[in-house]
Structure 1
Amino acid sequence: MKRYDLTEDGYRRKFRTCKPAEGESPDMFIVRIVTYLDRWIELSKTDKSYEKLKDLIVREQFMDACPEDLATSLREKDLPTLERVAKEADLFLKARNRKLCDQPRKVFQSNARPRMDSVRPLEKKFNGGQPEVRKPAEDPTMEVTDDLQSEVVGGMVKLASGNSVPVMTNCAALGDPEKTRSLGLPVLKGEIGGREVDVMRDTGCEGVVVRKQLVDASQLTGECCLLLRIDNTALLAEKAVINLRTPFLSGEVKTLCIPGAICDVIVGNVEGARSPEDPDMSVIVGAATTRAQAKREAVTKPLRVPDIERHVGVDREQLIKLQQEDPRILALVDAGRTSRRGGKVVSFEKARGIVYWRYEDLGRNVDVKQVVLPKPLREYVMSVAHDSITGAHLGIRRTKDKVLSNFYWPGVDGDVTRYCRSCEVCRRNVKKGTVPRVLLEKAQGRQKHYYDRAAKRRKFSVGEKDASQATTEERPPTSSLAIPAASVTVIEDLEGEHFNDSDCEALPELGGWGSEETVKDLKYSDELTLDQRRQLEEVAVTYSSIFSDRPGTASTEEHCIELTSSIPVRQRPYPVPYAMRQTLRDELREMEDLGVIRKSSSPYASPVVVVKKKDGTNHACIDYRRLNKPTIFDPQPMTPPADIFQGMEKNQYFSKIDLSKGYWQIPVRKEDIPKTAIVTMDCHYEFLRMPFGMMNSGATLTRAVKKLLCGMDNVVDYIDDLLIHTETWEAHVKTLSELFKRLQEANFTVRSVKCLLGSRTVDFLGHSLGRGAIGLLDENVEKVRNVPRTKTKREVRAFLGLVGYYKEFVPNFAAVSAPLSDLVRKGQPNIVNCGDSQERAYNSLKVAVTSKPVLQLPDVNKRFVLRTDASNRGLGAALMQENGGMLFPVAYASKKLTDRESKYSVTERETLAIVWGVKKFSLYLYGTVFTLQTDHGALQFLNAAKFDGPRIMRWALALQVYNSDVQYIKGSENVGADYLSRIE
């Protein structure tokens, strides 16, 4: 009993110091504590009464608080009462002339040098040039009484009582680490209980010593003995039997355990120990703990099974009764109808009194019957499918599959979804970042701080108005009104308590239909003579029926909507502000009167939003994004803007025609009308004409216009904008007459206020066109001239986008703009830091655009001249043509060099500029003879010379498909491609 500490004192210590074991529940831990207390009281022979228990607890508390020697003496006498304890303690203290508050002196070794038992011999740790010395480990075996002397004489330990005790063994490796390390004892790897340890072979030791931390309590024998250390001091050690596996000794060995051994294991001169010069090295192999060993030694945790209330179960009669008491199930059975849902035939039926939900999958030829579950049983079925050990708290879809494998009830999808989302275990184990943080007021405040950074602070006085306009963005959140970022203001200090709402201006209304445009609203060029203007007016009056702001009904094309799914697409209506609802109703009513829409009963429904056009008018637009996903794409191409301007270099007269609401002039195919249905807060309509926002609306309009213009070479189109260009006045009048005739026959209408007839120059697609040249639109030039200084990455991107639209007018645009494009790279600060290079690039681009550069329209019948140049930042190319004995630019192109390309040699960069420039303008150069000019003399023999570099040779071979004459020009003459390319 004493060996296993099953005594009164042992149970007392267990009661005071016990802790929960691995896998132990609170109930099990409390039972173990109560058991320790009961055994303690039983072995102390204390009656289970209040007075006796109080006496026991106070006596124990007194002994824990008093000095150790006094407590030891009192426990040896086994005093039964608290009065006897007090009397004996008083006699003990008087005999030693001490007070109760005095603590006994702890005896350490006689030498003044500190112990270093916890320092390993091979782990040298230095601190300021000195080895690190740890504090001596406090061990109960070291705190002996004054009866033990520190000096050993003749192999005997002399006690204070005068008796001598022989030393059982000695160990030289237990003294000063520095002395032991100087002996050069061998240290190898070994194993104790699957753990890798350091093993020292000490021929001056007569036993086996193990660090006590490596020994389990179950391996201790309960016996002790004295050790003689290298400094001639004695140490008390406990004995243990352990399984040892080392290069010097293996097997079950009797060892001495001390807490501060200089090495994990010290093997002395015992029977079976190998010589230090002849260790068994095969033991070292595989000494490390493998993953398989760690897995076998790991404690298996019990599986936690959730407590689910067990259901008593129901029989057939009870199930029938519960179904009959559910009114919703009765209503479904009474209806008894069969319907089709997504390729399945579904119905309710009764079999032997039980209601089943039956569906037949026609595609897979499967017939499924499910029990219609009454309401009292649904909660339990969902808990089993989701919370049980087989449910495993899986997601909504898998939980729903488990339920539907046998059961069904109306609204099962929503019930299972709500049950899974309200599951406490699932919510506790949700992934980080998927649940919004609370309180959300903090997040909203942080968002407001970032949103207001670019805002202006304003103050209002009494009666002052704010006329900020609100527009609708492409994706409205909850309202059809949103404030543009450019007009955000922070309104603070609203002085005054009253504000007259009647003084506020009304919100901008949708585009009105009251004003009728006629042929009288046509615009004519101021450069026309009276006779020319009269001729155009006669043509316009002849076809005056086409000039109207009301859309016509085109006969050349119908809009078709081909979907990949037959499931109707429907959405809830977007909320519209109350102030705009009446305006929206009036707009829809006017559209209904014009025959654009009609009332609908279609299963399709797309929400309505309100947008503002460039001319200031407002109209209803539809969010067709959901419908566009299953729509089959129409590959009808649109003519690129660059191709539109080809062949106009000799034209002298231009006229611009704009179709009146071009999309609404195309009718919708009869069977596709229900798919265009829209929904507002109180109305449901469908389109009879092609609406805006559909995926293929632009392609349908382009196809209709191209059919209209078939065979008219002097007319180009871009969606609903038409441009007439001719060389002579007679051809221009004839072409206009033919176009107006075709528009009238096809029932197209034209907006007269947006037309311009007989002009020498015209603004089209953001460019100014006329007199054989193409330039910049004055409106956009003014925007560049008035653009404020960029301070943030967003402003830099906006500036580069504005000037980048005219990059073909700026020589070497990529190299010039490189310092600015570097500012918007990922990782750069939001507030840009502009240096000298950025300032020069900003000013150079601004000057290049605001100087209104002009390019000559290309003539494919003339010879082209290509000039190229390269710098350490980018490549530049200029396509030119001769006119009147001088070369004029047709287009500029540039490219910023990559880090790899910037490391090319000068010749390689110049050759790269040629190859890139030729490919850039291959639409003009392929199949023709052109002149290639370069200011790098080594490349003038590009078509004939053999170059040593393989890269240049590959490029030279790639250019063999082009017919070019290479000419060398001076760098000062290369004004097209070299201009601005050297800016740093």
Structure 2
Amino acid sequence: MEKPLYDVIIGNIEGAREPENPNLKWSPVCIQSSVQEAPEEQIADTNYAAVETRSQKRNRERPIKPLEVVIKSSDLDVTPEEMVKAQQSDDTLSKLWKLAETGVVKEYTKGSKTRFITVKGLLYREYIKSLASTSDQINQMVLPTQFREKVLEIGHEGIMAGHLGVKKTLDRIQTNFYWPGIEGDVRRFCASCDVCQRTFPKGRVTRVALGSMPLIDTPFKRVAVDLVGPLQPMTARGNRYILTLVDFATRYPEAVALPRIDTERVAEALLDIFSRIGVPEEILSDLGSQFTSSIMKEVGRLLSIKQLNTTPYHPQCNGLVERFNGTLKRMLRKMCSERPADWDRYLPALLFAYREAPQESLGFAPFELLYGRMLRGPLTILKEVWSGEKIEEEVKSTYQYVMELRDRLEATCELARNELLKSAKRYKKSFDVRSKDRKFKVGDMVLILLPTDSNKLLMQWKGPFEVIKKIGLSDYRLLVNGNEKTFHANLLKLYVPRVKPVRQNGKSPEVGGAVIKVKVINEDTSESDFANVDLVSLEQVESVDDVMMSSERNQGENLECSKVLRRYSDIFTDLPGYTTLVQHKINLTTDDPIRSRAYPIPLATQDIVKREIDAMLKLNVIEKSESPYASPIVLVEKPDGSIRFCVDFRKLNNVTVFDPEPNPNPEDLMTKLGTAKFYSRLDLTKGYWQIPVVEEDRPKTAFITSHGLFQFKVLPFGMVNAPAVFTRMMRKLLDGQENVINYIDDILIFTNTWEEHMTTLKSVLHRLRESGLTARPSKCFLGATSIDFLGHIIGDGLMKPQPDKVKKIWGVQRPRTKKEVRSFIGLANYYRKFIPNFAAIAAPLTDLTKSRGPKQVEWGEAQQNAFDTLKLRLSSSPILHLPDAQKTFIQRTDASDVGVGAVLLQSDGEHMCIP
């Protein structure tokens, strides 16, 4: 046999008998064969045997289970006749039927077109992707309300959908279907998908900003403890663990090797350490049973030690000792590589090495901070041996020594404190680059970012669980399976429940759910070509469903706000309204008509001008004119690459009688916000276009194009008195309304209670409806505790710079001309209230803008320092408190050779003055 072992085990031996029928007369015979058979012949003569277990047979005969599907086929049994009836009876499609009758074609800047058509009684949206060919034509069936949820489920949760993101789901559905507000519906459906939320990548959940630990000035007032191990191999003394302790003030470490980590042994080791360093006032530890047991609590009670614990799965809270543990293990790994079983004997030497080295955050060694001098170590001894010199200290009295030691320790600790403050700011700035201020409210449902299974294919996040209390700045107490547990915000993710409409008598109710804005981190939710609108829209694209509401509100508040929105849904549209509050009148200083030649328009943009003019004609914004006046048009490219249609009214403005109606002062508006807790922002749709121009003055607004002369019927953008007229209208609109301010077309509602907020919101919306004004849904934001207003983040009684604006300032390159210097100073000047001594810091830059200097500025070290300092001050996240009119104001001033400064302060109730 070529492979005797295999053949014997399997039973491939020619002439072998069955076990129950042995040959009793058999005796072993050794035969030496002189003929070697080929391997192929040996294999051909063998018989193979195999065994199938009962479990394998049972699994093989078990029938395959059918895969789970989202919707039953019976739910989709709809005939074309039933679909036609559903389309005709759906109120949300009434405008689309009218567009299909008129045959209006909607054009986009990228050359695509859409229109609504009927085929065999069914309503379709015809989409032509390219003007060059009709091969990319898509007919999208317009869905009634009752079938939209089924299509969303099939397009996102179906067995062949794969739970893809918003954009891919939207593109898939729009290949066959369309309905008004489809993008918002898809975004909300995907955001509220239970499976997607439970399997969302943990790395894409934005962490909150880094918190600050209190600075401890007294050595061993607060210490951090932890356990390391089990370590392999076990030492000759039987040790497998290390108890570590680090002082918060001096970073002085202690470490004790232990054979076991039962509570009694850990308590004895701590008492052994306390006998050398003294009993601390506070001990910070994790939630290990050794530190939370009743025995350890009794030890803390007897020694008057306050026990502090980190939140579960958040070791960053005890980062001081965790970092020391990592350093200690690396040192042990390198030192005991030859004798690993003696790692516990290396601990004293390694502790000396760590205590002797200066700490990066403090700038001093733990030995120096604790004893007020550097200890004599191996390198000091080596220097003495090689140099033959030994520094003899001056003989002092006990009193002199104690006083000098005290002074030296105070100076050293003060320097270390300053260094620690600098390093903490540096670490926080670096950490907060990718962080976001995420807050949860009591009653919110959240997921805990802890896996339910070790298998990556089956892993999901735990929850959802209810938030029952907020603790500190970033910790929250949850009700988990009937027990209260505390978690850090970085371990939590807001869970968005899906609110399904309840049908009564076959009809949808007035309120179908809450309108919630959910931001998906790193998810591509940009609009596809199907809904890309760059210039004037001829039909309503946005509706009340596009109004954003803060995710901080609970479900009850969401529903209450949604009812208000539905009640006033007619004013939420992206089409401008028409008000009768005011009319725009143009008074000129001369009767001579103002005429200008038309500016040359590139051939590539003439189609854009034509489409914009046609759109404004259909919106009744402009009309054809025979006026003697003529102003030229210009096309301005916006930052997103789209085109803005503008009229150059500069010559007309020069002869216009100025309207002195004052615009609101942003600083005065901020002082009214005080300590409000709820904010809502409304943005009017193309605000100027909602104000009519008196008929006799319309010829003065005429503009000239290659397609003819046209004039405005409503207030155009670019006229010198447009802000004053609009401000006058807003004052009439909001006259007598409390807790409401506005700046041009931005309306801000601010209140201290939610009930008062809803009442004020209803009142404002009622005034808008009565005045014939409309609000842009996508720019309205309701029910927030912090909000972006006039380039500032307002909330919790604080005011911060808008992060995007600060990022823009930070990205400014070094100015090279006077114009660039003025632009940078103007940009930074908007946030000058956040920068102490702004005038003094910016003085070197301001000097460059003097009229006598050259256009190309001379840039030196002083200018570079001023430039860098201004950007650095803004990037350090400065914060101001909103003034409280009920408290006393304190003014502090200062002056220097280059500037005068002042700051307004108020007491915070704790004997501190805050700016």
Same fold, TM exceeding 0.5? no
Query: What TM bracket, shorter-length normalisation?
Result: 0.3 to 0.5
TM-score, reference length from structure 2: 0.40
Higher relative contact order, structure no. (Cα contacts within 8 Å, ≥ 6 residues apart): 2
TM-score, reference length from structure 1: 0.38
